[in-house]
Structure 1
Amino acid sequence: MSDDAVLWLLGDQLNPDLDALDDADRVLLIEAHGFADRKPYHAHKLTLVFSSMRHFRDALRDRGRDVTYVKAESFGEGLDAFFDDEFDGAPADADLRLMRPASHGAGDRLRDLVAERGGSLELLDNELFWTTPADWREWAGGPDGEAPEPIVGADGSADRRYRQENWYRHVRRETGVLMEGDEPVGGEWNYDDLNRETPPDGWEPPERPRFEPDDLTRETHAWVRERFDTWGTDSLAGFAWPVTRAEAREALDAFVRDRLPSFGRYEDAMVEGEPFLSHSLLSPAINLGLLDPREPVRAVEAAYAERGVEPGAYDPTGDDAGGTDRSPVPLNAAEGFVRQVIGWREFTRHVYREAMPALASANQLDQSRPLPPAYWDGDTEMRCLSEAVGHVREYGYAHHIERLMVLSNVALLYGTDPAELNEWFHLGFVDAYHWVTTPNVVAMGSFGTDVLSSKPYAASGSYVNRMSDYCASCPYAVSRTTGEGACPLNALYWDFLAEKEEALRGTGRMGLMYSHLDDKDESELTTIRERAVAVREMAASGEL
């Protein structure tokens, strides 16, 4: 690089140990505010992003780095200020490099912004993913090793379909994570069947690690409240996310020590009043770059190597339960976490790359209803929905089963436009970025395309009842499908299957569902339809 080599780092690339920093003479950070003016983001999300950027700036300077930190309405205005101040308006003298952003088209747009000002921008591989586009192409194929054409059509149909399990096994073999030679540790690739228990009454999850906001975070939060129109709680009382690399490492240590032992068994559970259970809570730090994804995977692998036990062998409610660095780590817990990171996170990132831009608007089920008001105000008698929305409103967070099987499932059965649901997730979650939410919400949660799954993740109230304690305190009766007071999910579920029969009956693994639908006579289906219409009307009017 030249004497004026500049590494431009974005707000989700906040890692001080990047290889890209080795050859950089200067570091550029642009804190662009305009995006937060356009939509009501969660106050905690904005506070987390801007505070983390400002802490990262200070940490780099403490390491002796020459950092230019520009606050501007847009990246274009930020570049103007940078070139004027640092290069006397002669950007051709600057050699800018940038790790390619994960969101579709962002790298090319930023390169064009620099070019419009007379400069040049080289895009580097993004180090904050474990696998590269070249790795994906080698696995997925394509003409002459090149990336194939976009795989999702305008109608949401997928020309190429990928399954996460195949990719996951490939990455395990390539990285050696939880492997013994060519075979997985324990003899099985996936212990998901052991990770579907619900905690017994009285069980309390390990305490969530808390990071008391310092003066810089408090100053940033006060500015966010004054500067932007936000959604969700605007109090710092529930804010406990790491905003520095040191805090992120502490959060990782706390997870491996305290929460990992019970993570697997209760991974898919939902418990009233417990937003976090034993989940890692590391996704915000990983998606900001405060943690390299290799770090938590290797830490979990090391914990299993040191204190691992057979799958399902550790009882979180037993005499040996507790959060210590000697608590046993069952293989189903270690494998379950590894699958989330090198399996699902890496997989959805690559499918997103190939499926965009059509993925963002994919809507193969032709769903068009607006999102019900309960998603914004949390005002609903449905206990499962009020709990999940309440968690998002309070913390900017809900765990993956609440995201998929409550928030996405309710919207799917209701008939919500996938793009509108995607935007809601993007605005509300502290770990959400376009590359994160779009495959998860549009493809998986809304079944806007079958590029990720062969069937929709649609479920009636019986699933929620099996995986949670919500139904016990819900005024709606999960045992009933029709009539006043019946669980809204039940009628919506059967009506959804009937309404979307032409699109779904022939899809993979839907045969059993439709065999049950076939058992219902016309009179019962009419009653179900009437109840579903009433439920949708109540939801639309905010009276559900």
Structure 2
Amino acid sequence: MTLAHESVWILGDQLSPHHPGLVAGRRVVMIESLARLNQRPYHRRKLVLIISAMRHYAGELRAAGYEVDLRSAPDFLSGLRDHVATFGVRHLICMAAAEYDTRQFQQRLEHDLGIPVTMLPNTLFLVERHPPTRSPALMEPFYRAMRRQTGLLIEPDGEPTGGVWNLDHENRRRYDGRPVPAPVRFPADTITQQVIADLARSCPNAIGSADDFDLPVTRAQALVALDDFIAHRLADFGPFEDAMSADHDLLFHSQLSPLLNIGLLDPLETATAAVAAYHAGKAPLASVEGFVRQIIGWREYIYYRYWELMPDLLSANAWQAERPLPGWYWHGETRMHCLSCVIKKVLRSGYCHHIERLMVLCNFALLAGIRPQEVNAWFLECYIDAYEWVVTPNVIGMGLNADGGRTATKPYLASAAYIDKMSDYCRGCFYDRKARIGPRACPFNTLYWHFLIVHEATLRANPRLGPAVLGLRRITEAERQAIMAQAATILAQIEAL
């Protein structure tokens, strides 16, 4: 068989210059699947990012000498069938998809197309390149194993740089008002403008707006965005990693996840760039270690756990939460200032950083008993970096603890005290951040104590939640009854909060 009879199918989240299929073949097929684009009402900025990046990537491959068939099709299978028939393809090569359903589809392709299909390992994740020798159930041992395997922030004697593995305790400062450098922006070029127009017609149910689209869509632009973060925000990333601000969308976060998740950046090169800044004296160890932990720790661990827990993870609901997602998650009109700010930010830009996702959005959903599958769907639809492999274990597993503690060892729940400590959201809020009962008591407070009371026996068995449960001893029986009554009122009127 000659190369003329082979094609390489590249997905829209596999836009790496080092895609292994590019070594194996000289013809590439890429499909803009209308079914996939309309599978959910995705954020318009995400759709523009993917399709514009695909079209730019196709142009770069053509310039490098590849024959590229970039086609729009009703779905992946019809597009591949048409490609096979048009080009007389006798062998299809693909890289294993990052998402469960798409990989299952790839595994059926040989039968569906009637030709041999070779599925190469996914090279976009370090854990696929360096699988752990054991199966670590917890993130911290996984992270340390990844550090050792990559050599990042590891000394010649095998010990961690600075003598400790994790400097998270240094990265919990409230934002202090210092200037925040604006991230580099990339105005839409002719290709992106055409994508915006095309998607307005083909994806009428998409949410949000792409009129001010300015995200990187090429490998070169992604590298500029990485360099910009390293040079201007990495140094302050660590101390303010957990901080939240009503006046700043990103603070010192990188917003590189959308680029990593479609292959424009490689996780190892991204983490290595941060380590190089540390060795050059341009960023403190706490900031660099915190960033490296996010890239080769949490990101890789979440991907690893996704594949260990699927497909059962999708239906997990350990806390038996069955309340519908409040309608204001779709417009942000709520008197809870923190939720209003974060939701409106997400609906506007398709992004907010991980602490806002975990400690505001998921925290409320957990305390209020919102059905995990509805929360998961909202995250998948609203974020520009959202893919099932990263959203589902983060939301159902970590954020809502609905998998029974298989992703995180404790539920991440907090009252208004945490939000007030790490943000300015409580300033000017309708609700009283210090009250747990009364007409203006913050719902986070009431629902926090309500959750502890309702699930006291289960939580008491978790050693990591001992201090929180012990706090119930200070609450009188009358206060318990008042909390339960107020929580019932809040949950009955959740749409009016």
Secondary structure of 2:464's aligned partner: coil
Q: What displacement does 1:133 show?
A: 7.3
Q: Are 1:482 and 2:437 counterparts?
A: yes
CA distance in 1, matches of 2:482, 2:191: 58
Gaps of 5+ in 1: 141-160, 308-327
Name whichever of 268-277 and 508-517 sits farther off. 508-517
What residue is the counterpart of 2:389 in the other structure?
435
| Contact 1:481 1:528 (C-alpha < 8 Å) held by counterparts | yes
Residue correspondence of structure 1 range 365-380 to structure 2 within 5 A: 365-380=319-334
Q: What displacement does 1:102 show?
A: 1.1
Q: What displacement does 1:22 show?
A: 1.6
Q: What displacement does 1:106 show?
A: 2.3
Q: Are 1:187 and 2:141 counterparts?
A: no
Name whichever of 518-527 and 252-261 sits farther off. 518-527
What residue is the counterpart of 2:146 in the other structure?
171
Q: Tell me the amino acid that sits aligned with residue 164 of structure 2.
A: E
Residue correspondence of structure 1 range 123-522 to structure 2 within 5 A: 123-132=119-128, 135-136=131-132, 138-140=133-135, 162-181=137-156, 182-200=158-176, 202-237=177-212, 239-307=213-281, 328-449=282-403, 450-522=405-477
Give aligned pairs, total.
Answer: 494
CA distance in 2, matches of 1:337, 1:230: 35
| Contact 1:7 1:21 (C-alpha < 8 Å) held by counterparts | yes
Q: Are 1:534 and 2:489 counterparts?
A: yes
| Contact 2:183 2:225 (C-alpha < 8 Å) held by counterparts | no
CA distance in 2, matches of 1:439, 1:338: 20
CA distance in 1, matches of 2:204, 2:482: 43
Q: C-alpha offsets along residues 444-502 of structure 1, whole Å, 9 cap, x if unaligned?
A: 00101211122100100000001101111212110111111111100010111122234
Q: Structure 1 length normalisation: TM-score?
A: 0.88
CA distance in 1, matches of 2:429, 2:249: 17
* Residues 133 and 64 of structure 1, relative CA distance in 2, 3 Å threshold: closer
| Contact 2:175 2:422 (C-alpha < 8 Å) held by counterparts | no
Name whichever of 343-352 and 124-133 sits farther off. 124-133
Q: What displacement does 1:370 show?
A: 0.8
Q: C-alpha offsets along residues 175-207 of structure 1, whole Å, 9 cap, x if unaligned?
A: 11011120111111111011100122x422111
Q: Tell me the amino acid that sits aligned with residue 221 of structure 1.
A: I
Q: What displacement does 1:253 show?
A: 0.5
Q: C-alpha offsets along residues 414-458 of structure 1, whole Å, 9 cap, x if unaligned?
A: 111111111110011000100010110001001012111221001
| Contact 1:271 1:470 (C-alpha < 8 Å) held by counterparts | yes
Q: Tell me the amino acid that sits aligned with residue 269 of structure 2.
A: E
Q: Tell me the amino acid that sits aligned with residue 535 of structure 1.
A: I
Percent identity over the alignment is: 41
Secondary structure of 1:31's aligned partner: strand
| Contact 1:365 1:503 (C-alpha < 8 Å) held by counterparts | no
CA distance in 2, matches of 1:362, 1:169: 28
| Contact 2:41 2:207 (C-alpha < 8 Å) held by counterparts | no
CA distance in 1, matches of 2:18, 2:304: 24
* Residues 228 and 337 of structure 1, relative CA distance in 2, 3 Å threshold: same
Give the root-mean-square deviation of aligned CA atoms. Answer: 1.5
What residue is the counterpart of 1:25 in the other structure?
26
CA distance in 1, matches of 2:433, 2:262: 40
Secondary structure of 2:122's aligned partner: coil
Q: Tell me the amino acid that sits aligned with residue 99 of structure 1.
A: M
Name whichever of 117-126 and 411-420 sits farther off. 117-126
CA distance in 1, matches of 2:294, 2:310: 22
What residue is the counterpart of 2:9 in the other structure?
8
Q: C-alpha offsets along residues 328-350 of structure 1, whole Å, 9 cap, x if unaligned?
A: 30100000000001111111111
Gaps of 5+ in 2: none
CA distance in 2, matches of 1:198, 1:2: 61
Q: What displacement does 1:525 show?
A: 1.1
Q: Tell me the amino acid that sits aligned with residue 36 of structure 1.
A: L
| Contact 1:232 1:396 (C-alpha < 8 Å) held by counterparts | no
Q: Tell me the amino acid that sits aligned with residue 75 of structure 1.
A: F
Secondary structure of 1:219's aligned partner: helix
* Residues 229 and 485 of structure 1, relative CA distance in 2, 3 Å threshold: farther
* Residues 119 and 502 of structure 1, relative CA distance in 2, 3 Å threshold: farther
CA distance in 1, matches of 2:438, 2:318: 31
Q: Tell me the amino acid that sits aligned with residue 101 of structure 1.
A: A
Q: Structure 2 length normalisation: TM-score?
A: 0.96
Q: What displacement does 1:231 show?
A: 4.8
Secondary structure of 1:29's aligned partner: strand
